[in-house]
Structure 1
């Protein structure tokens, strides 16, 4: 989205959150290719109407140059004319004009949003660009007018591009391993976490990363370590990795759920962790993949799973030494503001080129064996070892999800990892055959 249109949405966010009916816009935004169904479902899951409206407005800013015009059209189509006029007054270059019958209004050429099919936009010669009219009935049939909107769509290629990952070293990898917690924190020590740390340190060194391990950090020290990482010069690197091994909990969030604890019992939201490496705070990582692996609980719920047919059941692992990294949900003074103040949006992260992989589904515990380490890290290490030479990261994380989902703790409890993926390209690690 153009910067001027982002500012318009930010300045009018209070009115949009208060008055917008997001449910009426979903079909139109989906039909026009602004959002995918998965994105719509995520917005719906935000909660109340106000929460959905807030998230819809925030996510629109990441959806390309035609998103603002499509929002205006959808507002008109759903009779939310007041909000459409409010936004149009501030954006005279984006208009939806009434036209006489059979008259076409030619708007400036806009580039469509690449959707989730790994598509990349390529500009063709002007004469080869197809034109697709979108017709909208007039608000009043008695006026005998139609509204037409014309957009020229550039053809999309169906070939997924890959991130450049051939620098040597490939990038920096920071591992924060919190094992021994202070008595006042009321958090148990995480026996078995050193096993996880050793595995991941060796694995990412093998993938040609410079690995730094920091152990038993307080909240303030976690922030300092992340700040120091963000201030490094990454211009000669292709990627950056942050691995958090600690206790975790749920917190209020706008984009990335969960938080991890320092050994002092104070937590740092995952959303804040990702902020340190976004384009605003770390310009030398702009356009480069930033990967976050979180081995911590997303909350305190224990998943007992559901019954499946016998042919779907595979052998499970897990035993009496399984522990969790769960802490009850808490409020967070570190999480970004959820208020509707006009300037609040300016501090939210831009998630482009970020992937956050969680050891467990938000709200649920993550299991760790005191002898062999956590289910998630053990599986992640094995999958990277066996498949990094042939498969991309997202495919490998799907393998991790499947393998961990087959485990059982104490013969009863399950675990389901997952990712928030905002990568734009395929990611293949460096390997030495």
Structure 2
């Protein structure tokens, strides 16, 4: 989008979010080719009209130079003439042309607070402010060596983070969507080795006392249908819900959770839309309970060649180099609604994910191992950090690296049930 038009949208953003009715203009954007159906679905997945308006504006700024004129036309066609005229009134003369120059700042020396046994507190004397140009600033003293470091009294540490209740039997439902055989018309290759990943995930989550449901080779509409079925179930007797998706993936516009996963017929479902099915508002019986999503799929088409590791890090890299092939690339109140959700990705958004046709994917292989070895003692976030570290040390084809990651809005620590605990 033209820079001037982007500035106009930002200038009147509050008016647009407050007054815009996205439902009225989505069809117009679709018919004009400005938005795709996936983008419309992503906008409509937002709960409130305001959030839908915000998401529409975020996507609109990415849609090229014809997006702004099309927006004005859609506003007129749907009777929102006042908003169209407001945007048309914004010209370059009324927009900020540059960022105001920031005043020069000279840092003041940092003084370490001193502990007083008499008052049982740290005393801090603020530095004396010196007018610039009248005298030079004092030179801070060099850091003291370990032998000069003051001995401070030990203070007891108390963990204040609560843990989720995870003692129901079964603990919850684990839905696995395993897409491995794709329609020829989709231009996506079959995902050999995905069944190995599926078997590992089914086995480990049964061991963690989940009721596991496996669905195979789902089309775009069937993925959304299965998520809708899961959201409509009564989870009152459960403590948690898990969704695992093994498929091809791609990048997608988002406000919270990036990426999208493909149905076997080709179209992709945004991860944000998938998580929204189980939000506290759409699935009341899961309110306040952890909802976990594990995504084994490409996040895009970039290949990471990594960087040179310092000598002291190399000794930890005991995992051999692999010749694995990547997942196929693709064209591309109460508690807050967005809470108690964790999404774990096999790769950072924008990059490929690697899979061995005989042994399965890097990510699932290590996720399975870490859960099996550590579920009895470690919380989920700690274990996913272990997975990140393990996968990051592998080299595909002796060159390419992979970096998993996770987005968490969990409010408490999560410990799985385990036969060893």
1:184 has 2:171 as partner: no
Describe the shift of the 1:374–1:164 C-alpha distance in structure 2 as closer, same or farther (beyond 3 A): same
Q: Which ranges of structure 2 fall in alignment gaps of 5 or more residues?
A: 1-11, 19-53, 59-157
Q: Counterparts of 2:419 and 2:270 in 1: how far apart (Å)?
A: 36
C-alpha deviations, 1:223-277, integer Å up to 9, x for none?
Answer: 1111101111000100000000000000111111000001001110000000110
1:74 maps to: none
1:257 maps to: 258
1:223 maps to: 224
Which residue of 317, 323, 326 corresponds with 2:325?
Answer: 323
Q: Counterparts of 1:412 and 1:238 in 2: how far apart (Å)?
A: 42
Instruction: Write the mapping of 1:207-286 to structure 2, written as runs, cut at 5 A.
Output: 207-286=208-287
Q: Counterparts of 2:175 and 2:410 in 1: how far apart (Å)?
A: 20
Query: By how many angstroms is 1:325 displaced?
Result: 1.7
Which residue of 358, 364, 368 corresponds with 2:345?
Answer: 358
Tell me, yes or no, if the aligned pair for 1:298 and 1:326 is still in contact at 8 Å.
Answer: no
1:336 maps to: none
Tell me, yes or no, if the aligned pair for 1:318 and 1:369 is still in contact at 8 Å.
Answer: no
Cα RMSD, aligned residues only: 2.4
Describe the shift of the 1:368–1:13 C-alpha distance in structure 2 as closer, same or farther (beyond 3 A): same
Q: Counterparts of 2:255 and 2:328 in 1: how far apart (Å)?
A: 21
Describe the shift of the 1:228–1:318 C-alpha distance in structure 2 as closer, same or farther (beyond 3 A): farther
Query: By how many angstroms is 1:318 displaced?
Result: 4.0
Query: By how many angstroms is 1:312 displaced?
Result: 1.2
1:410 has 2:412 as partner: no
Q: Which ranges of structure 1 fall in alignment gaps of 5 or more residues?
A: 1-11, 19-53, 59-156, 331-348
Query: By how many angstroms is 1:315 displaced?
Result: 3.2
C-alpha deviations, 1:315-344, integer Å up to 9, x for none?
Answer: 343433x121242452xxxxxxxxxxxxxx
1:14 has 2:14 as partner: yes
Tell me, yes or no, if the aligned pair for 1:299 and 1:326 is still in contact at 8 Å.
Answer: no
Report the secondary structure of 1:184's partner residue: helix
Moved more, 247-256 or 282-291: 247-256
Query: By how many angstroms is 1:364 displaced?
Result: 0.4
Tell me, yes or no, if the aligned pair for 2:188 and 2:330 is still in contact at 8 Å.
Answer: no
Query: By how many angstroms is 1:170 displaced?
Result: 0.3
Tell me, yes or no, if the aligned pair for 2:321 and 2:395 is still in contact at 8 Å.
Answer: yes
TM-score under structure 1 length normalisation: 0.60
Q: Counterparts of 1:195 and 1:328 in 2: how far apart (Å)?
A: 23
Structure with larger Rg: 2
Q: Counterparts of 2:222 and 2:17 in 1: how far apart (Å)?
A: 36
1:387 has 2:387 as partner: no
Divergent runs of 4+, >6 A: none
Q: Counterparts of 2:341 and 2:320 in 1: how far apart (Å)?
A: 32
Q: Counterparts of 1:173 and 1:356 in 2: how far apart (Å)?
A: 14
1:428 maps to: 415
Report the secondary structure of 2:292's partner residue: strand
Tell me, yes or no, if the aligned pair for 2:189 and 2:328 is still in contact at 8 Å.
Answer: no
C-alpha deviations, 1:365-405, integer Å up to 9, x for none?
Answer: 00001110000000000000000000000000000000000
Q: Counterparts of 2:343 and 2:283 in 1: how far apart (Å)?
A: 17
Report the secondary structure of 1:237's partner residue: coil
Q: Counterparts of 1:184 and 1:316 in 2: how far apart (Å)?
A: 38
C-alpha deviations, 1:108-139, integer Å up to 9, x for none?
Answer: xxxxxxxxxxxxxxxxxxxxxxxxxxxxxxxx
Tell me, yes or no, if the aligned pair for 1:184 and 1:264 is still in contact at 8 Å.
Answer: yes
Tell me, yes or no, if the aligned pair for 1:359 and 1:376 is still in contact at 8 Å.
Answer: yes
C-alpha deviations, 1:64-115, integer Å up to 9, x for none?
Answer: xxxxxxxxxxxxxxxxxxxxxxxxxxxxxxxxxxxxxxxxxxxxxxxxxxxx
2:49 maps to: none
TM-score under structure 2 length normalisation: 0.62
Query: By how many angstroms is 1:207 displaced?
Result: 0.5
